[in-house]
Structure 1
Amino acid sequence: MQQLSQERMPIYEALERFKQMRVVPFDVPGHKHGKGNPELTRFLGEQCVSVDVNSMKPLDNLIHPVSVIKDAEELAAEAFGAAHAFFMVGGTTSAVQGMVLSVSKKGDKIILPRNVHRSVINALVLCGAEPVYVNPEVDTRLGISLGMSLAQVEQAIRENPDAVAILVNNPTYYGICSDLCGIVKLAHAHGIKVLADEAHGTHFYFGKDLPVSAMAAGADMAAVSMHKSGGSLTQSSILLTGPAMNAGYVRQIINLTQTTSGSYLLLSSLDISRRNLALRGEAVFAQVAALAQYARNEINAIGDYDAFSKELINGDSVFDFDVTKLSVHTLDIGLAGVEVYDLLRDEYDIQIEFGDIGNILAYVSLGDSRQNVERLVSALSEVRRLYRQDKAGMLTQEYISPQVVTTPQHAFYAEKESLPLEKTEGRVCSEFVMCYPPGIPVLAPGERITRDILDYIAYAKEKGCSMTGPEDLEIKHLNVLKGV
């Protein structure tokens, strides 16, 4: 066998060998290399459906890798500077849940910011761990949550010395980074594991002059969305672990929820993308950072928009900033971010990542060009010229501190009743409400419903935010705990 190097793509190479074997398939999937579903084959192409195959000895098995998947994961671990890497085909949601479930069980405490992705709180519903929230500081002008303050983390540890882990969003959707090295040092001094939701930080491992990566900072686990800034297919992700984690146990945890039928389309895309980043990542992300900076300069020259960046750094709650994130504050043109988001899509055929109450995020990555950025800048200039209005009366606050009454697991499974939204004030919610993207809950199970939250939900709906989470898809009713 050839020696492993970052030039290699073990899964891709195995699939190429498999195609040359002209195997007659009497296994699943039932489309049999596309022959049984001609419409699908025409749509996706024969090249694609011919490698949508089942696990078999020559191709290894994701739940117990011993050959080509094992090799590909070892190459990924080396590329990311981790002790182990696990390929995930259930998205970074699955990787985040794998982290939380690997370090905690019912009754354990986890310190985390409240502005986490719903996947974190979903994991708490599954395992019964208790969240200890460090409420993030908020930039009131931009209406965005900042990172975790080191002093707040220290206070949380002092008040909860029995906590088993700290989870950090790094970076946030907007590009805000916490003092990850400081948090790791503090946590490890108290015997506490550090988990990083690094969904938006794949490029930290390969670019120069970018914020520190979780593995370089000494974190114990990190969930990395290769499909976001790393170029792999949607739903493919990597879970990284440091040397202090028991890799065999982590694999067992992953196998509790991850499919036994791992998609070779997703797995090969991880393999191919890892090679691309390992060989060319530094140059690629230098170009991405330069393109994002060019866009920021051009957008700020329009007037009224604020494409913010490193000027936010304060050495604590904004310890660093991810310059590849093109986050733009829109309230000074009198439009909510989601209204700009809708205008860009409906009037200019430009699909950005998301818009919230006061900001938009245009995701700039390795597939972008200067021409596309110029089209975005031109459209934003025209939006300002045609749709600018008085910003009086616009909501600015994006984050509302929760009133936690009980654990997410207890609230999710407790006896509940459905009430009209306006009649839920003061009650304890038993489900999620969030704008998606970014998927950060406005309400999570176990939290008290306040007037501020109800006003926020009404305002977000009015402005056109995509609200998700509750059983009632129209969000006219909410499930609340009975008698609480």
Structure 2
Amino acid sequence: MKNQNETPLFDALKNYQKDNIISFDVPGHKKNSKGLAEFSEVMGEKILQMDANSMKQLDHLSNPTGVIKKAEELMADAYGSDHSFFLVNGTTSGVQAMIMSAVKPGEKIILPRNAHKSAVNALILSAAIPVYIQPEIDSELGISTGISVKNLEEAIAENPDAKAVFLMNPTYYGAISNLSKIINLSHRNGMAVLVDEAHGAHLPFSEELPKNAMKLGADMAAVSLHKTGGSLTQSSALLLNEGFIGYSSVKTVLNLTQTTSASYLLMGSLDVARKNLSVNGEKRFREILQWLREARERLNKIDGIYAFGKETIDGNGTYAFDETKLGINVNKTGLSGFEVYDILRDEYNIQVELADTYNILAIVSVGDTRENLMALVDAIEDLVEKHREEPFTVKCIPLCNPKIIVSPRSAFYAEKKVVSLKNAVGEISGESIMAYPPGIPIVTPGEKITQEMIDYIGLLKEERTVLTGTEDPEVNNIKVLGMN
């Protein structure tokens, strides 16, 4: 175990700021308020002084040999992996690098259909062929959970030539698949295991939380420390256990897409966040989990509210559960999740992570306080009393695995025409459509558009959900394959 109290990159950055070097390199603001006056007045001049360029003393992200390398080694040690790579393009760049490192053009990858849009974009970049697994569904909550070992066994049997298995750990609402069995099954069949652990950066730092992917033997995982670990937005890490995939090949792939002008503010925050998680995480999450259990107990006493947790574990799609994901089912109050999301923001000045038809999701992490968590509980008690309506049943439209007509990459580059969404049934999509957050596609390039997709998009529009992916900002039209 390395000394997790060390912060080699952040220390070098502090020394650079103290040295007060006369700068004739970039960035152009030259570390003073003359270069970015209005920004400096609000943020402070020190942030400009630490916004540095790559140099010998601060190392280079594209080929680290100094303080970045040391910081990455500490990150790998903290997560139980052989190697780590700092990411300044978010976990999106990590997901792309994982898939491009493991799967060549034309090769198959097995993944759940509720994967994030970054995975679909990685299929376009890599020219890999997706084999989708339908995730398990919790019909009471109206959400998808993890993938079952049985479904994966069937997918592997039907596609023994697949090169990799990709999954999320945990899902947005905290469901965790049986990772240990999935990893062992995949490896026995010669397939690498890639894990989008964007919402699981905190998992290794408490014995009360489920184990993280790398400690269970996954080949690669991308973790968003900015989401649940405390670093600055857009900063993440890519983790690697060598075997199926080599260090050099991952480094090469990352350098295809990641910026050559890496932000030292982002990287410095990764270094400090890792230290904080490693040194203080066990104690911090012990108290956070106590607050969460108290919050769930109070919420579940409110008529029509269900704050779900570890009782949802069924040994199938939910083999374990991440309690830091405070999912709150609200539909029995007569309100939709979308309505509660808006009321909390507009009337109580509280921002939750996301909403769907039945639920809202609050993410609780290292920066939270008991006071703020209880303020959320108080707000939900109050809004239910003020806004409660007659319970109603919202039609939940389950989306089955789509029929893939052409590969995502072929569809992306194909000739396209624009049609109205209502007339698109039976066409092959040339674009993606998704609600954001969470960024899970409803339709992706190369898939046959079905009536249930159109109906579901209509339902989301009725709830004023933010839809993205199409060139049409109103999502009334969609590009499909073919020529006008």
Interval of TM-score (by shorter of Structure 1 and Structure 2): over 0.9
SS at 1:86 equivalent = strand
Residue identity matched to 2:103: S
Residues in 1 aligned to 2:400 and 2:346: alpha-carbon distance in whole angstroms: 30
1:112 equivalent to 2:117? Answer no
Q: 1:304–1:4: structure 2 CA closer, same or farther, 3 Å change rule?
A: closer
Greater mean deviation of Cα atoms: 418-427 or 254-263: 418-427
After TM superposition, the score normalised by the length of structure 1 is 0.97
Q: Is the 8 A contact 2:4 2:78 kept in 1?
A: yes
Pairwise CA distance, 1:391: 3.5
SS at 1:302 equivalent = coil
| Equivalence for 2:329 | 329
| Equivalence for 2:319 | 319
Q: Is the 8 A contact 2:146 2:317 kept in 1?
A: yes
Q: Is the 8 A contact 1:431 1:444 kept in 2?
A: yes
Could you report, residue by residue, the CA deviation over 1:104-133 in whole angstroms, capped at 9, with x for unpaired residues?
Answer: 121010001000000000000111100101
SS at 1:328 equivalent = strand
Residues in 2 aligned to 1:460 and 1:383: alpha-carbon distance in whole angstroms: 22
Structure 1 counterpart of 2:18, from 17, 20, 26: 20
Residue identity matched to 2:335: L
- Unmatched 5+ residue regions in structure 1? none
| Equivalence for 1:350 | 350
Pairwise CA distance, 1:401: 3.2
Residue identity matched to 2:74: L
1:95 equivalent to 2:94? Answer yes
1:11 equivalent to 2:28? Answer no
Q: Is the 8 A contact 1:141 1:396 kept in 2?
A: no
Q: 1:42–1:89: structure 2 CA closer, same or farther, 3 Å change rule?
A: same
| Equivalence for 1:204 | 203
Residue identity matched to 1:55: S
Pairwise CA distance, 1:483: 7.0
Correspondences of 1:408-423 after superposition (within 5 Å): 408-423=408-423
SS at 1:373 equivalent = helix
Cα RMSD for the two superposed structures = 1.4
1:360 equivalent to 2:360? Answer yes
Pairwise CA distance, 1:399: 4.1
Residue identity matched to 1:15: L
Pairwise CA distance, 1:390: 2.7
Residues in 2 aligned to 1:270 and 1:470: alpha-carbon distance in whole angstroms: 33
Q: 1:208–1:324: structure 2 CA closer, same or farther, 3 Å change rule?
A: same
Residue identity matched to 2:323: V
Pairwise CA distance, 1:19: 1.7
SS at 2:434 equivalent = strand
Q: Is the 8 A contact 2:176 2:321 kept in 1?
A: yes
Q: Is the 8 A contact 2:415 2:483 kept in 1?
A: no
1:292 equivalent to 2:292? Answer yes
Pairwise CA distance, 1:397: 3.8
| Equivalence for 1:253 | 253
Q: Is the 8 A contact 1:339 1:464 kept in 2?
A: no
SS at 2:195 equivalent = strand
Q: Is the 8 A contact 1:196 1:221 kept in 2?
A: yes
Residues in 1 aligned to 2:334 and 2:182: alpha-carbon distance in whole angstroms: 38
Pairwise CA distance, 1:5: 2.1
Residues in 2 aligned to 1:115 and 1:367: alpha-carbon distance in whole angstroms: 28
Could you report, residue by residue, the CA deviation over 1:74-115 in whole angstroms, capped at 9, with x for unpaired residues?
Answer: 011111111000000000111111111110121010001000
1:392 equivalent to 2:396? Answer no
Residue identity matched to 1:18: Y
Residues in 2 aligned to 1:385 and 1:183: alpha-carbon distance in whole angstroms: 45
Greater mean deviation of Cα atoms: 42-51 or 23-32: 42-51
Q: Which runs of 4+ in 1 moved over 4 A?
A: none
| Equivalence for 1:149 | 148
Pairwise CA distance, 1:480: 0.7
SS at 1:57 equivalent = coil
Residues in 2 aligned to 1:370 and 1:398: alpha-carbon distance in whole angstroms: 36
Residues in 2 aligned to 1:369 and 1:384: alpha-carbon distance in whole angstroms: 23
SS at 1:441 equivalent = strand
Residue identity matched to 1:175: G
1:192 equivalent to 2:191? Answer yes
Pairwise CA distance, 1:310: 1.1
Residue identity matched to 1:323: E
Q: Is the 8 A contact 1:89 1:258 kept in 2?
A: yes
1:222 equivalent to 2:221? Answer yes
Residues in 1 aligned to 2:341 and 2:380: alpha-carbon distance in whole angstroms: 10
Could you report, residue by residue, the CA deviation over 1:399-445 in whole angstroms, capped at 9, with x for unpaired residues?
Answer: 44322222111111111111111111111111110110110001111
SS at 1:166 equivalent = strand
After TM superposition, the score normalised by the length of structure 2 is 0.97
| Equivalence for 1:82 | 81
Residues in 1 aligned to 2:201 and 2:453: alpha-carbon distance in whole angstroms: 33
Q: Is the 8 A contact 2:105 2:126 kept in 1?
A: yes
- Unmatched 5+ residue regions in structure 2? none
Correspondences of 1:362-381 after superposition (within 5 Å): 362-381=362-381
Residues in 1 aligned to 2:427 and 2:292: alpha-carbon distance in whole angstroms: 44
Greater mean deviation of Cα atoms: 68-77 or 392-401: 392-401
The count of residues paired between Structure 1 and Structure 2 equals 482
Residues in 1 aligned to 2:31 and 2:324: alpha-carbon distance in whole angstroms: 39
1:166 equivalent to 2:165? Answer yes
Residues in 1 aligned to 2:433 and 2:306: alpha-carbon distance in whole angstroms: 28
SS at 2:202 equivalent = helix
Pairwise CA distance, 1:315: 1.1
Residue identity matched to 2:15: R
Residue identity matched to 2:10: Y
SS at 2:84 equivalent = strand
Pairwise CA distance, 1:398: 5.6
Residues in 2 aligned to 1:212 and 1:333: alpha-carbon distance in whole angstroms: 35
